[in-house]
Chain A
Amino acid sequence: MSKQSEMHLYAPGHSGCPGCGPSNALIQVCDTLGKDIIVVNATGCMEITSSQYPETAWRVPYIHSLFENAPAVASGVAAALKAAGNDHTKVVVIAGDGSTYDIGFGSFSGMLERGDNVLYVCYDNQLYANTGVQKSGATPYGAATTTTVVGKVHKGKETERKPIMEIVAAHGAQYCASASIAYYADLQMKLKKAKAVKGPSFVVIDAPCCLGAGFDGAITMKVSKLSVAARLWFLYEIENGQYKMNFNPANPKPVKEPLELQKRFKHLSPEQIEHIQRMANLNYETLLEKSGMKPPAAPSQPPAPPSQAPPQAPQPTPAKA
């Protein structure tokens, strides 16, 4: 056994794809949080690639039950530790966006409301990867997936992503952070802060999936960096309701740059790209204002997404009274 393969609390030999963003996130998460944790994992790519009997890549105590119950299982683990008088071991949920935004959302909300002492880490690749790239609540507007297929009538996802940071913060979680695998020093800082919270805390990590989003694994980090630079993903924190932007993309790259690297966006019409650009700018303005970095302006209306419906037949004129 070489010393390199022994170095991390998440071992090599897992079956993540070459260039897998989420696999990199796991190494960062485990190493930063350290040995005194218990990981509760939801079903997903990271669970399947890491723990096929009799092998496991995890070098920390780990439990996986189902796809949608990781937060509830974590509540139970936390309660058992408390009952045993253990106040130092940190319970960490590690779940993808599928579990977090969708099927485990109710369980997640319950855990947050109860104020359980759990650090919730979401590796967000914006799709259901393990089942072959279906849309999730985290999939951005316009993206093609196998359940937002680009066809004659519908052309990719027609709704925006769930604002997960705001949802978690609205539950009263003391610390929420949005991070990226491409900015690992920032990610490590956020994980440490989240760990120190007594109560629920949340870190969502942009962890692009090369196979799912349609790009070569070699540019995984580049895609995340460009997403941040183009205001498609923000590095920020919400600490006790206070917003803080860690990186201010004041001179952003145009959204076209990260979008054109990914096959899931290759079908976008100029109207769709324009919509994405406007939303990126609007989200940026909103975040800037919430972070106290800009005085509040007149509220601007979010633009309506370009109509996907076929043109309407002309309406009959109402009969005169």
Chain B
Amino acid sequence: MAVNCKLDVVACYPITPTTHLTEELNKYYADGKIPEYITVEAEFSAISALIGASATGARTFTTTGGQGLLYMHEPLFSAAGMRLPIVMLVGNRAVSSPLNIWNDEQDSISQRDTGWIQIYCKNNQEAVDTIPQAFYIAEKILLPVMVCVDGHYLTHAVEQVDVADESIVQKFLPPYKYPLKLDPENPVSLGVYANPTHYQIFREDIMKDMESSKELILEAGKKWGQLTGREYGLIREYMVADADRVIVGVGSLIDNVITVVNELRENGEKVGALHLRVFRPFPREELKKALAGKKVAVIDRDISIGGAAPIFVEVAEALNGTKAEVSSFYGGLGGRGIKRTHIRDVFEKMKKGARREWIATEAPKSAMSG
């Protein structure tokens, strides 16, 4: 799908679980469908190369996850601070140490402060639909976007998807024009050094623009819906309106929650699921509107060691003062599955008051089983 977006420069480094994506992209390059593919020697250099390319007016894309994303940490801030519309697909993977190649969202959630827009896809259809939207949003607001997709659960899943063809993407996505691109005809200096008088001006501006990107995300989602019949927003509610208990999460876990919701609804339980599609910018108002006064459980497949779970913290803050009762369940780390029994368990526990605890705590029978 990325190729349908008329990429100019791609720079990739292989890492599980996105290695096969870097290989696919190279095949397109070998056939002349992507003009430039830089085989960088490190993920750090991948994002750095795209900083240079994007600033020179090229539409850029890369893919990584886990350790690779962590290695990009420093240039992620630089790319956002320089207002470069790079798009990256993150195949969510656990972080070392210990080494683990399987899924959780510690990698991308720990990058939430970098200034990148973060969109989480709960299945592969969403992923292929979100990539063109990511370019649309990035290039209008001049902020980089990471499209997050659960490693292995989604990156290695076989799913029937409708990949919108190039003609639709071309209708949707205007050509990329960076307003201050590096050009000897207009020799500006990018990436300047700012002293205490000036630095905060830029940070205030990026915060403001990150907030206003919410409208753009909705605009992109709506326009995409008009062209394909599949509309997207900041959150997606599933039977939330009349629910007394709602589970909130990012990623593929939510489709599992929806299955349990359907099951429990058969028995008359008023439960719902809310997919937090966009984590940055954080959709405070939308969450408040959907969840005010309800019992909410946030499932975090990520932790902040020494503090409360990251997604829970922000949801709880948004619902502060609305009489919602917010619980935190964290776990399913390193590929340990969050199964339907766990989810049913969460809905049960929610009847008995707010709590903060681990989920999926039993060690699996064999090292490899989820």
Instruction: Indicate yes or no for A touching B, C-beta below 8 A.
Output: yes
State the A residues within 8 Å of B (CB): 35-38, 40-41, 47-48, 50-54, 56, 58-66, 68-69, 71-84, 89, 106-107, 109-110, 113-114, 116
Beyond A61-B189, A69-B75, 18 additional pairs, beta carbon < 8 A: A37-B184, A52-B194, A53-B192, A53-B195, A56-B189, A58-B189, A62-B189, A62-B190, A63-B55, A65-B51, A66-B78, A69-B45, A75-B11, A77-B182, A79-B11, A83-B58, A84-B8, A106-B45
| Contact assessment for A110 and B42 in the assembled complex, using a CB-CB cutoff below 8 Å | yes
Q: Contacting A72 at CB < 8 Å: which of B8, B49, B57, B190?
A: B49
| Contact assessment for B58 and A80 in the assembled complex, using a CB-CB cutoff below 8 Å | yes
Q: Contacting B52 at CB < 8 Å: which of A52, A59, A73?
A: A73
Q: When A and B form their complex, which 9 residue pairs have the shortest distance between CB atoms, in order from nearest?
A: A76-B52, A110-B41, A76-B49, A80-B56, A69-B48, A80-B58, A72-B45, A72-B48, A76-B53
| Contact assessment for A80 and B9 in the assembled complex, using a CB-CB cutoff below 8 Å | yes
Give the chain B neighbours of A83 by CB distance below 8 A.
8-9, 35-36, 53, 58
- Interface size of B as a range: 35 or more
| Contact assessment for A75 and B42 in the assembled complex, using a CB-CB cutoff below 8 Å | no
What CA separation (Å) do A81 and B57 show in the bound complex? 8
What CA separation (Å) do A113 and B42 show in the bound complex? 13
* Residue B188 is within 8 A (CB to CB) of chain A in the complex: yes
| Contact assessment for A52 and B195 in the assembled complex, using a CB-CB cutoff below 8 Å | yes
Chain B window 284-299, contacts with chain A (Cβ cutoff 8 Å), 1 for yes, 0 for no:
0000000000000000
| Contact assessment for B9 and A60 in the assembled complex, using a CB-CB cutoff below 8 Å | no
What CA separation (Å) do A75 and B56 show in the bound complex? 11
Q: List 17 A-B contacts (CB under 8 A).
A: A61-B189, A63-B52, A64-B191, A65-B52, A65-B78, A69-B51, A71-B45, A72-B46, A74-B52, A76-B9, A76-B38, A79-B36, A79-B58, A80-B36, A80-B55, A80-B56, A109-B41
| Contact assessment for A51 and B45 in the assembled complex, using a CB-CB cutoff below 8 Å | no
What CA separation (Å) do A128 and B201 show in the bound complex? 30
What CA separation (Å) do A37 and B49 show in the bound complex? 17
Give the chain B neighbours of A37 by CB distance below 8 A.
184
What CA separation (Å) do A37 and B182 show in the bound complex? 10
What CA separation (Å) do A49 and B20 show in the bound complex? 44
Give the chain A neighbours of B192 by CB distance below 8 A.
51-54, 56, 64
| Contact assessment for B187 and A76 in the assembled complex, using a CB-CB cutoff below 8 Å | no
Give the chain A neighbours of B191 by CB distance below 8 A.
41, 51, 62-65
| Contact assessment for B182 and A82 in the assembled complex, using a CB-CB cutoff below 8 Å | no
Give the chain B neighbours of A82 by CB distance below 8 A.
35-36
A43 CB to nearest chain B CB (Å): 8
Give the chain B neighbours of A69 by CB distance below 8 A.
44-45, 48, 51, 75
Give the chain B neighbours of A109 by CB distance below 8 A.
41
| Contact assessment for A75 and B82 in the assembled complex, using a CB-CB cutoff below 8 Å | no
State the B residues within 8 Å of A (CB): 8-9, 11, 35-36, 38-42, 44-46, 48-58, 60, 74-75, 78, 82, 182-184, 186-195, 198
Closest chain A residue to B195 by CB distance?
Answer: A52
Give the chain A neighbours of B35 by CB distance below 8 A.
82-83
Q: Contacting A79 at CB < 8 Å: which of B9, B186, B195?
A: B9
What CA separation (Å) do A25 and B195 show in the bound complex? 25
What CA separation (Å) do A84 and B178 show in the bound complex? 13
Closest chain B residue to A68 by CB distance?
Answer: B44
| Contact assessment for A114 and B52 in the assembled complex, using a CB-CB cutoff below 8 Å | no
A315 CB to nearest chain B CB (Å): 41
Give the chain A neighbours of B198 by CB distance below 8 A.
53-54
A96 CB to nearest chain B CB (Å): 15
Give the chain B neighbours of A113 by CB distance below 8 A.
41
Give the chain A neighbours of B57 by CB distance below 8 A.
80, 84
| Contact assessment for A76 and B51 in the assembled complex, using a CB-CB cutoff below 8 Å | yes
What CA separation (Å) do A89 and B155 show in the bound complex? 39
**Given known A40-B52, A73-B48, contact A63–B58 (CB-CB < 8 A):** no
What CA separation (Å) do A83 and B181 show in the bound complex? 14
**Given known A79-B9, A80-B9, A109-B41, contact A73–B51 (CB-CB < 8 A):** yes
Q: Contacting A76 at CB < 8 Å: which of B48, B183, B193, B194?
A: B48
Q: Contacting A77 at CB < 8 Å: which of B42, B52, B188?
A: B52
| Contact assessment for B50 and A51 in the assembled complex, using a CB-CB cutoff below 8 Å | no
| Contact assessment for A51 and B189 in the assembled complex, using a CB-CB cutoff below 8 Å | yes
| Contact assessment for B190 and A38 in the assembled complex, using a CB-CB cutoff below 8 Å | no
B26 CB to nearest chain A CB (Å): 14
Give the chain B neighbours of A78 by CB distance below 8 A.
52
B31 CB to nearest chain A CB (Å): 16
Q: Contacting B182 at CB < 8 Å: which of A56, A61, A72, A107?
A: A61
